Structure 1
Amino acid sequence: MSLPLLAELPAVLLPLVSRAEQSLRTAAAALDNDQGLSGWTPERWAQFARVTAASDFVIEQTARDPSMLLELVQSGELDRSYAPGELCGQIAATVSAVQTDDELGRVLRRLRNRHQVRIIWRDLTRQADLVQTCRDLSDMADASIDQAYQWLYSRHSQQFGVPTGRRSGEPQQMVILGMGKLGAVELNLSSDIDLIFAYPEGGETVGVKRSLDNQEFFIRLGQRLIKALDPMTVDGFVFRVDMRLRPYGSAGALVLSFNALEQYYQDQGRDWERYAMIKARVVAGDQVAGAQLLDLLRPFVYRRYLDFSAIEALRTMKQLIQQEVRRKGMADNIKLGSGGIREVEFIAQAFQLIHGGRDLSLQQRPLLKVLSTLEGQGYLPPAVVSELREGYEFLRYTEHAIQAIADRQTQMLPDGARDQARIAFMLGFDDWAAFHEQLMYWRGRVAWHFGQVIADPDEEQGSENEVVVGGEWLPLWEEAQNEEAACRQLEEGGFTDATKALKALAGLRGSPQLRAMQRLGRERLDAFIPRLLAQAVEHANPDLVLERVLPLVEAVARRSAYLVLLTENPGALRRLLTLCAASPWIAEQITRFPLLLDELLNEGRLFKPPLAPELAAELRERLTRIPEDDLEQQMEALRHFKLAHRLRVAASEIAGSLPLMKVSDYLTWLAEAILEQVLALAWRQTVAKYGTPLRTDGTLCDPGFVIVGYGKVGGLELGHGSDLDLVFIHDGDPQAETDGPKPIDGAQFFTRLGQRIIHLLTTQTNSGQLYEVDMRLRPSGASGLLVSSLGAFARYQEIEAWTWEHQALVRARVLVGSEDVGRAFEKVRAAVLGKSRDLATLRQEVSEMRAKMRDNLGSKSTAAGTGANAFEATAPFDLKQDAGGIVDIEFMVQYAALAWSQTHPSLLRWTDNIRILEGLEEEGLMPAEDASLLREAYKAYRSAAHRQALQKDPGVIPGDQFADERRQVLRIWRELGLS
């Protein structure tokens, strides 16, 4: 027997129907159910042909369980609508016999497959219209959710006790809100379901030994319910469950109390959440309590007045929709593309959001009913509503046709000839071209009407093409798309590990700082994150950018003015991402001290730090604006100044506008400017308390004190995280008392002055400390006096100091303080360094000190760079301490200064290694090529160390780097007679 009406089918679909018929006949025979098929009329076979030509899903289900289709035919369920409650009754009767969670999941999936076949059959044969099909699908979801919930609640209560309200003393049930299409009773053939779980009031369970908090009870119950419905098994799934519309999205608690929900929407609810809540409906659980919950939330959704405040928010949503439809691949999406289903929904919901508070007739969920109300109440002309209705129905029928093929959640038009033929056939067209022409007509009409909604009369023609910056990323941030789509978008944007990036965004969304934000802060964050993502994908490594910037976002979340700064200043955001991508050190600094974001506003200023005189003048000016007695504000101002200028130097180094030598110069000048003001503050405070100390000639000190810098600061070689090696020297009279109301002797005064300076430099405030200070290079080291008189310092250097202390003195210079004391110090320094030395003894002592340092501080695995494996790629090279590195060059320079400055005093003019090397070359004490090699190697090492510091890496690099430089440095070391 050949099937009737086969001639009406496109030729490409005939094999599908033939195979389906053969499969059904074979299965029926095996079931000994020939009577079922023998009763089929030609009309039934025509229906079978139409459905199996269109739907692989029906073919598959029929092949897996042919008795199901035969029973549906014999019962007459394919030919009639269900009475109200009938479908729920069927599911309830089946679920009532279930014994285990696994069995519950299996039964629900098989019931879903059965009813899905029935609904598809009736939809494709047009025995059910669009509204009936959507209602059947929604009823099936309601019943599945509610019956699963009731079954699970009973067993959950037996295990954990009955949740009971603390205030009312009444047993508590969960309320399950259906959102979106489920809430509006508009589910399509393969919809997921958007749910929100709630319970009336807090309390704990009763009836068991160990009670549970009500929230914990319902969270566990909600997890069991999702597990019953969502996972894909051999029997398929019931419904894909999406919980991202709940407060705080996927980072929020799975279930919240009514009070918590009301508080959230009152304090933090955003306009898009109002828009979503229009569709909310109680689909399962406690219907009475659910009605009370919706009453509680209604003022959030529908304002009591004509809500023009929503217009701007809706305009933004509209711009985002317009922006998304221009994304690649959206043209064939009949939901999200131009003129798609979403645009019709937006038109209706825009009127509801604006007018629904005053016009109660708009407070309903189904879109077609809302359109009728908009026409009846005069909001839209009948002709417009007619076009929107017809266009919407055509789009929804097309959506069902697409999803009927394979029960897949998609709204994309197929690109294969067979599936295109199926769509055209299901919609009643002779071929794809005819169908597509009609589809594009309706999409064009919908798009035109969408363009007219809440249009700004002040906008110029074509303004609908304006984009919301980063708007394509807003759905991802607001979890308006599933994880697969979000990861795909991140990958298309250039993220290497999209899953990790998505998890990082979810972690931010769920952080305590964000959850504590008020509504204004959340709105600012929602405006900022899409812009952040839009700029991040412009970088070569967006993963790294996001990883480094999100901690900053979390840190400033409660101070959302910073988010506004970056949102409204895209240049500042661009500079932030560039700097953070280049340096984790900078990212950490800005995260710790968000006030640095202000520095990003002025690009010219950021990448052009001032010279030394300008630095000092700027800091003096800042401090003059602060009352002299406000020490806290003075300390903060000093720290702000240091942080800001250190950032500017680092930014300039990264941008390449400052070479290495200038970077160190600026960082040293910055330290000197700060020390100048710290000394002034400390002097003023100490004098105010004790009076002014005296010199030996009886005159007042003014201040008769200097801060001497050693090491990096003395040699103008400060790095980004360098500490300060300092020595304090005075020329006051140690015995003479100060002239104040609480006189103390000069020695005590200068000790307390030194202590005050260290306190100002090292105290931790909200903005950190100014500098770590190392005072161990003072006479007698840690056991010596904090402050030395100039005479005591000179005697110590002449009589007691070790050779290594004289080496350190090579790099010592006065940073700030009295000019006359500074000149006197220089004389002492020159005398000590310029005295005659036995060169053999000097070489031995320098070599021994260097050997100790290598042993203690060098790389153990390579014998501090002297081992046979020192130059292998897998071996470490410590830039500073290993053989041939920075310290070797410094020791050679110091040795040369100590050895030859008696006869060549010009070597004492400078304290930095580069200029001393230049002096050695000029004096003929070192071959020009060797001096040049040491200078270049020294700069290369320091540049590499700076890069490591900006990357927050230790100063250790692979051993095969700088191999030639290291060999040459060691050669020169040996040629100087050092060992």
Structure 2
Amino acid sequence: MPASVPTEPTLTELARTGFTSLDSSAERVGELARASGVATGLLLDAFAIAADPDDAVIAVLQLHERAPDAVSALLADGQAAARFVRVLGASRGLADFFLRHPDQLDVFAEPVVAIPDPDDVRSDLLAVVDGRGTGGPDQAETAWSALRVQYRRRLAELAIFDLTSVDPVAIVDLVAASLAELAGAALDAALDLARQAVSLPEGERAFGRFPAHEVEATRLAIIGMGKAGASELNYVSDVDVIFVADVADGSDLGADRAIEIATRLAMLTMKAISASSVEPDLWEVDPNLRPEGKDGALVRTLDSHVQYYDRWAKSWEFQALLKARPLAGDRALGARYVEAVAPKVWSSASRENFVESVQRMRERVTAHIPDDEIDIQVKLGPGGLRDIEFTVQLLQLVHGRTDASVHQAGTLPALAALADAGYVGRVEAAEFAHDYRVLRLLEHRLQLERLRRTHLMPRGDAELRVIGRASGLAPNATQLREVWQSTRQRVRGLHERLFYRPLLSAVAALPSSGLSLTSEQAEDRLAAIGFRDPRGALAHIGALTAGVSRRATIQRHLLPVMLGWFAEGADPDYGLLAFRRLSDKLGTTHWYLRLLRDSSEAGHRLTRILAGSRYAGELLERTPESVAWLEDDDDLRPRTLAVLSEETKAVVARHGTAEAAAKVLRTARRREVLRLAFAAILERITVEQLGQALSDVTENLVRGLVDAIRAEGAGEFADDGIEFAVIGMGRFGGAELGFGSDADVMYVFRPGRLEGEAAQQRAQKIVSELIRLGSDAHLPLDLDADLRPEGRNGVLARSLDAYRSYYERWSLTWEAQALLRARGVAGDSALIRDFEALADTVRYPAEIDESAVREVKRIKARVENERLPQGADPTRHLKLGRGSLSDVEWFVQLLQLEHASSVPALRTTSTLAALAEAVEAQLITPDDAALLRAAWVFASRARSALTLWLNKTTDVLPVDRIQLEGVARLLEYPPGSASMLEQDYLQITRRSRAVFERGFYGTVERHEPSI
């Protein structure tokens, strides 16, 4: 075949060029060569640099059909062909634009070697719309199309500059800034069209139009927000704006009239950009960052904006205003707006709840990411752009109060300013500026591909290969994944490296890398993230990192990470203090340093515990070696009663005196309660499991003490002369203890070798020793015997016969009710069996008369009216309040008194177990039982959380927001959820109370029942 006739390329040539669909592409390249007259080799040279050669050749063929001469001319010019194919191979969206408008192909004729001048771009777009907006709807659409076509031509110029750059990473901020200027120019042109459309000659009238002089006297500024305001726009971003109106100087136009005209102008401006038309819309103009968001007026005067920001704005709105700048419209008015809001922006970090508002915003961002998108989100996911932006903005807001040099709208300029001022290390700033540019470049290429707004990395190898080639970051999918993942991993550590490490350099000898935080600046930074005593926190940091010891060296590396974790907690100040104390005790221990260094999970768990629970922090000081449990989930599981009992038997056997054994047993109890505190805080245990485990730990201690006391008092017959037992009552008997719960008990004995008064004295001696030896200043144990016959006036220990005689002659209904949860926990098993059999005759009567039922209801009403502490809010009392623990327990206990004789399954000491059996027996509906159960579980969890948080026992849900927030976090609520916890509790208990009143009193009204 003659050499002058183009031939189809071989499959080998195509593969080497980068084609993947070899057979079909061979046919297309050959067809294009024949149609254009350009040699096959020259075509392959051009397509070899395309991101997607297969798509590019399809697009070029389609364009050749529409404009054969123009395409052939481009392909014949090697440099023009390279520009042409690069753009079509990276952007199907721009290829579609040229298919609609092949007359615009001349944009590829000359190289684009510099970013276009913004003023030239603005003049160009204004010239396109000049005089086009004065007609009707048809002419308006024609004008919109002309604007959009010229915009996309300018966009194609930018894409040529971007895609043909030697180092696209280095110029990504220039491209982003030019995209923002292009958007501003488009808004200016759209606003000019709107002014033309609404202006009427004097004397004419038409709906939605105004006299020309009034339109001219109406000033309208378009404030760029978000990426547009920061001059870091994407190829296809929503453009966030705020509209500000005013009246021109010297005009008598009223403010209301100006707002009316400006609102019409704003609406038409947005339509010109994004309304449906022959030429597709450019992007969405989003005005929802305005005061009151979607519900607020579209346009306000400057004074109205200022009044809103003074009185009503939330902290996140000031964070958003950090990027505000005049983007289009009246520049002088826009500048006045930015000048007016700037002082409010830079003082916002000192606002109450500033940290919480930033945390809530970050939580909302993360919460809205679908689970299957978290790992492919370039913008919002972990290690994505938002991590960098939020951190840089937080640093700006903290230090910008006193340092105007960091008042920058853009992320990269702000990062550079922070480094120049010494708030961020220069090396770190340079690293993260590069990572930011890489992520932005990926985002640009993703959006350029179809000219669609997206932030999701593709999953398929073919799509990743195209993105890698278009960005110049990687030639194939595997290498692009490596770039993407390594960048994410570095960015994940951004908050720690940029925010916390300078704090250490302010107090310790660290390689500065350009860091120069003063103590005052470090305190500002700590205050901004939630430390209430930043000066004290700084002192702790200094103590932990000072010196050249191995401990100080390791802690200097760990603290930046751990400070971030402490800041996530409800009480970072106490968390850091407790960590310092713990490190003072364990800091030289090899395993402790290894644990912190090598197990980030254990370190994170430790900070979560210390910043969330003074109860656990105080116990951990007594048992510091327990921190080792945080490395292994098995160590956080409750020990069974059988395992605990074996240890206790060994302790009692090994120690010759009850005093010595008791000391070891008290230590073991503190250890096991701390284990359960860890498990509760780290959400490794349910409230039911916690109740059982705490009851087991208490039971084990009581058993061990009783055995040690009796062994010490045993005589020549190898016993102490009596049978003796401890009966668990209340929540202890029901195996439903919480942190800080009293252990209700009764004591029973039966004469043996000792009889009469001697037996009584021996029992009394065991009880007094049990109380004394069980006393623990570090973890109090209150053995409360007030539920015994005759209450506080009765003897502490009675013989079994005395109990039998009392219950037969004097027992009251409330005592039968109390016995519903009686369970033997320590002592002689035969005596326990006999006592429980006696209790059964009292608590499970064959029938209960109506007077006894009325007595239960009367006592419950008295409890509600008389036992609540003076001034306590009955809706917030976790134990005695409406719909809380007491209501549920009395409801269940009444069912047991009435039905346990005929329904043996109800014979259980557990409230929840009895409630479940009541459903099975159809004594309560499943829905009502579910409401009662939910209230009991919620109140029980909140009661334990209060003890964990405060390290003291209280039964009232706090009103103070700080205290309520601490409880909320322990109940697994996100930051800033104090009010949500409060609302949930009140709602749950309100529903529970309705069930209780209907089933217990037989009414839904809240009053004492008629007796």
Normalised TM-score (structure 2): 0.45
Normalised TM-score (structure 1): 0.46
